[in-house]
Amino acid sequence: MATHIIFQCPACQKRRITSPESASGAVCCDECQWKRDEGAGDFTNEKLTRCRICGCEDLWRQKDFPPALGLALVATAAILSCTAWAFYQPLLALGILMAAALIDMILYSFMGDMLVCYRCGARHRRTAMDEQHARFDLETAERYRQQDLRQQKT
What percent of the chain has a predicted confidence (pLDDT) above 70? 99
* Domain shared by 11 and 59, yes or no: yes
* Domain shared by 13 and 59, yes or no: yes
* Domain shared by 104 and 118, yes or no: no
**Rounded Cα gap, residues 81 and 94, in angstroms:** 7
* Domain shared by 41 and 102, yes or no: no
Domain carrying residue 92: 67-109
> What global pTM score does this model have?
0.82
What is the structure's pLDDT at 66?
87
Number of domains in the chain: 2
What residues form DSSP beta bridges with 116?
60, 123
* Domain shared by 29 and 97, yes or no: no
- Closest listed residue to residue 64, CA positions, set 143, 139, 152, 129: 129
Q: How confident is the model at residue 154 (pLDDT cuts 50, 70, 90)?
A: confident
Sequence letter at residue 24: S
* Domain shared by 21 and 87, yes or no: no
**Rounded Cα gap, residues 103 and 126, in angstroms:** 23
* Domain shared by 26 and 47, yes or no: yes
